[in-house]
């Protein structure tokens, strides 16, 4: 896929053999008055073209923050990337100056869609204006050309009567339509990577399926890499190729979706699966993960999950397990007792 | 995913706006409850009304405008302000008498058919002077408000958007301005000028007036900055300049407009106060403040000298404040 005609960023040439996106050992912290919140602690993943990567985790697991760090839109201060690299086709985005990020990277190479499209669309401008905004700015489209392009994009994301609705304001759209408009906006500059931060959380179930279907078909069409940030296991199972399970800013387990689903190798993944109802299994009650997510100001010593873990032993309270390869296709688990977990299943 | 991608099903019939449906149901329900029985004609009217309203696209501003038009306070204050502005621009439309053509033989005449508002101590026609006085008041009011708002918009958005050191420096500067008592500051600074005209008085009022406005801009910029659409704009490659001008400022403008409107009134009365105290405009300038100052000594013998400029001043200031109030009601959905 063409990278908008560029083969370099800020003077650094693209590496043809590199992954589309390669995040390595990313650390993000927030320095606030009460102390240092360590939101992301060593996140590593890669993404290729045509691939869908799900980042799965509950609130506060650092999944959205890691996406903001990749985009370079962390609020600094208080947020700081303290370690790691984010390589786009081999070029480390964290080393690029803000001007290059704004001009060449965001929107053009990596775009993002947000959870709540009502708040992510500017209430004082029409939807069409917002979709065409970046075309006017980055591509030098005239107002009229941008409007035509906006209508085309709206048709591409299957907004009915696009020509009539191009002049409507965000609050005149339904929730699903707004999310479609948001997607149209993100696609306007034909990005190589699309990060979708909980794209369906604010929508009702039938609309969720439509939006996922739309993202999937757009990905097939353009070949972009898709990062899906979510806490919804169902969404993950249906569309992703790989999954990264995060907890307290660390990777608990990652691997191909089938491996992780059928052979979970971390107590947290197991807990997540047991806490959703399944139509094929008859139970009287669900078994939620006991306890509460950790306070990121005060992450437990050793394995961050040990206070809630049914498999925890003495060692888990002192040593922090690192991801180790446990099977084919890069299936990794950060649990000392992953074999026990798999046997239990 | 059971949905056929070729036939997307958005939330409901796309041709029918949800707002239409809602107002339709609402209207019909209400008529049923109110009348005890359904009256067909009324519910039909209800449907048409609802359809017409949602057919028009409604932004915050069109919405506010629609609301304002129906508010008597807004209409009255607007009419009064328009009259005052016309008076300031074309006083000749209101009087043919030259306010500077005075004859001492006609000093201190009470109101009559020849001199509607009487004459002052110099024998000048008081009606003509009152009309011509509008120009100075309106000019200073607008000039000061425009410049103070500009300073506030630039400084306030820089402080609110960038935060950190920029914010600290600008915020401390506003703190310093707040320490200076208004009248005292006005007297001290204005007494430095040997001659004081509209420009000097405006300058001093700008110096003393920008800080409050800047605080307001700063706080609404901070509120708008944390909105998701700012993150979204940034994730689309929006530069700081673009984000401030297109996304942050348009969304923080409403309270600024309200406050600016009220400020015009406040500035006009401040000018009158300074002129009254003898540190504002100087004779032979014609201003309501100066006229009130001149009336001071003769308040018991010729009360109309105070009454007429005082009434004009009050009505003008009052109109701007009322208009600001009406704008606040229309632009702040929380107060509806």
Residue A89: CATH number of its domain: 3.40.50.300
Contact A112 B10 (CB under 8 A): no
* Residue A124, min C-alpha distance to chain B (Å): 6
Give the pLDDT score at A194.
Answer: 92
Contact A213 B251 (CB under 8 A): no
Give the pLDDT score at A335.
Answer: 86
Angle at B201 between CA B135 and CA B103, to 5 degrees: 50
Q: B272, B205 in Cβ contact below 8 A?
A: no
Give the C-alpha distances (Å, rounded to integers) separating A188 from A109, A129, A136, A314, B87: 11, 12, 11, 53, 52
Region B183-201: what's the mean pLDDT?
84
Is the residue at A4 inside a domain? no
ipTM of model: 0.76
CB neighbours of residue A267 within 10 Å = 27
Give the pLDDT score at B110.
Answer: 73
Q: Rounded to 5 degrees, what are φ and ψ at A255?
A: 165, -175
* Residue A215, min C-alpha distance to chain B (Å): 11
Give the pLDDT score at B294.
Answer: 77
Closest Cβ opposite residue A238 in set B1, B14, B237: B1
Domain with A274, as residue range(s), is: 18-103+232-345
A247 DSSP β-pair partners: A250
Q: B172, B165 in Cβ contact below 8 A?
A: no
Chain B contacts of A213, Cβ < 8 Å? 1, 3, 5
Is the residue at A124 inside a domain? no
Q: B97, B127 in Cβ contact below 8 A?
A: yes
How do residues B122-163 score in pLDDT, each as one tens digit?
777 778 888 888 888 888 888 899 999 999 999 999 998 888
How do residues B262-313 score in pLDDT, each as one tens digit?
888 888 888 888 888 888 777 777 888 888 877 777 777 777 778 888 888 8
**pLDDT at residue B77 is higher than 50:** yes
Q: B274, B201 in Cβ contact below 8 A?
A: yes
Is the residue at A262 inside a domain? yes
Is the residue at A284 inside a domain? yes
Is the residue at A9 inside a domain? no
* Residue A264, min C-alpha distance to chain B (Å): 25
Euclidean distance between CA atoms A188 and A152, whole angstroms:
10
Nearest C-alpha neighbor of B217 from the set B168, B263, B159, B172: B159
Give the pLDDT score at A53.
Answer: 92
Euclidean distance between CA atoms A69 and A75, whole angstroms:
9
Most confident of A280-284, B33-37, B104-108, B187-191: B187-191
Contact B3 A213 (CB under 8 A): yes
Give the pLDDT score at A328.
Answer: 79
Q: How many domains are contained in chain A? A: 1
Give the residue ranges of chain A where pLDDT is below 70: 1-6, 345
- The encoded tokens of residue A233 equal 């296991």
Residue with tokens 């931060």: A197
Is the residue at A65 inside a domain? yes
**pLDDT at residue B39 is higher than 60:** no
Give the pLDDT score at A4.
Answer: 53
Give the pLDDT score at B308.
Answer: 82
CB neighbours of residue B309 within 10 Å = 28
Is the residue at A46 inside a domain? yes
Nearest CA in chain A to B9: A210
**pLDDT at residue B206 is higher than 50:** yes
Closest Cβ opposite residue B231 in set A114, A167, A168: A114
Q: Which of B50, B226, B229 to mutate to test the interface with A (most CBs of A within 10 A)?
A: B229
Give the pLDDT score at A96.
Answer: 86
All structural domains of chain B: 1-56 (no CATH), 72-335 (1.10.3720.10)
Is any Cβ of chain A less than 8 angstroms from the Cβ of B59?
yes
Chain B contacts of A205, Cβ < 8 Å? none
* Residue A20, min C-alpha distance to chain B (Å): 18
Is the residue at A342 inside a domain? yes
């Amino acid at each position: 896929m063409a990278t908008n005609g560029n083969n370099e960023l800020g003077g650094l040439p693209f590496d043809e053999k590199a992954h589309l996106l390669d995040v390595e050992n990313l650390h993000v912290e927030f320095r606030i008055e009460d102390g240092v919140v360590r939101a992301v602690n060593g996140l590593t993943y890669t993404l290729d073209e045509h691939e869908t990567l799900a980042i799965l985790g509950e609130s506060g697991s650092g999944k959205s923050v890691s996406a903001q760090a990749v985009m370079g839109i962390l609020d600094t201060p208080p947020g700081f990337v303290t370690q790691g690299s984010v390589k786009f086709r081999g070029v480390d985005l964290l080393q690029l100056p803000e001007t290059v990020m704004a001009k060449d990277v965001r929107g053009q190479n990596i775009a993002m869609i947000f959870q709540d499209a009502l708040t992510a669309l500017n209430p004082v401008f029409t939807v069409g204006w917002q979709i065409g905004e970046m075309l006017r700015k980055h591509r030098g489209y005239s107002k009229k050309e941008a409007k035509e392009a906006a209508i085309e994009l709206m048709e591409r994301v299957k907004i009915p009567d696009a020509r009539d609705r191009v002049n409507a304001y965000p609050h005149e759209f339904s929730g699903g339509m707004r999310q479609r408009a948001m997607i149209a906006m993100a696609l306007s500059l034909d990005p190589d990577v699309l990060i979708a931060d909980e794209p369906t959380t604010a929508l009702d179930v039938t609309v969720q399926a439509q939006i996922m279907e739309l993202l999937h078909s757009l990905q097939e069409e353009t070949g972009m890499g898709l990062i899906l940030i979510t806490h919804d296991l169902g969404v993950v199972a249906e569309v992703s190729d790989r999954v990264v399970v995060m907890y307290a800013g660390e990777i608990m387990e990652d691997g191909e979706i089938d491996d992780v689903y059928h052979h979970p190798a971390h107590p947290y993944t197991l807990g997540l699966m047991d806490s959703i109802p399944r139509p094929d299994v008859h139970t009287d009650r669900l078994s939620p993960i006991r306890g509460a997510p950790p306070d990121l100001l005060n992450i437990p010593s050793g394995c961050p999950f040990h206070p809630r873990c049914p498999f925890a032993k003495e060692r888990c309270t002192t040593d922090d397990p690192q991801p180790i390869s446990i099977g084919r296709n890069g299936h990794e688990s950060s649990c000392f007792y992953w074999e026990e977990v798999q046997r239990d299943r | 995913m059971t949905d056929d991608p070729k036939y997307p099903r958005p939330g409901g019939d796309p041709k029918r706006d949800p707002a239409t449906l809602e107002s339709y149901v609402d209207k019909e329900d209400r008529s049923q409850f109110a009348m005890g029985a359904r009256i067909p004609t009324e519910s039909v009217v209800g449907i048409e009304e609802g359809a017409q309203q949602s057919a028009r696209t409604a932004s915050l501003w069109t919405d506010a405008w629609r609301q304002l038009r129906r508010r008597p306070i807004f209409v009255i204050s607007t009419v009064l302000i328009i009259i005052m502005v016309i008076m300031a621009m074309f006083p000749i439309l209101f009087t043919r008498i030259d306010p500077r053509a005075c004859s001492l033989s006609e000093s201190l005449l009470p109101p009559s058919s020849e001199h509607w508002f009487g004459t002052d101590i110099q024998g000048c026609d008081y009606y003509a002077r009152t009309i011509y006085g509008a120009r100075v008041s309106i000019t200073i009011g607008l000039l000061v408000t425009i410049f103070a708002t500009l300073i506030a918009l630039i400084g306030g958005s820089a402080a609110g958007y960038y935060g950190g050191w920029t914010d600290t420096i600008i915020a401390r500067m506003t703190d310093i301005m707040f320490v200076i008592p208004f009248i005292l500051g006005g007297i001290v600074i204005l007494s430095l000028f040997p001659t004081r005209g509209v420009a000097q008085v405006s300058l001093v009022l700008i110096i003393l007036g920008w800080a409050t406005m800047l605080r307001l801009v700063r706080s609404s910029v901070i509120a708008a900055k944390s909105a998701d659409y700012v993150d979204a704009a940034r994730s689309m490659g929006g530069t700081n300049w673009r984000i401030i001008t297109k996304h942050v400022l348009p969304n923080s403008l409403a309270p600024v407009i309200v406050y600016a409107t009220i400020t015009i009134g406040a500035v006009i009365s401040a000018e009158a106060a300074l002129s009254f105290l003898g540190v504002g405009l100087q004779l032979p300038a014609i201003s309501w403040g100066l006229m009130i100052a001149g009336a001071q000594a003769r308040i018991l013998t010729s009360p109309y000298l105070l009454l007429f400029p005082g009434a004009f001043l009050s009505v003008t200031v009052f109109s701007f404040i009322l208009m600001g109030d009406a704008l606040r009601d229309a632009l702040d959905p929380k107060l509806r």
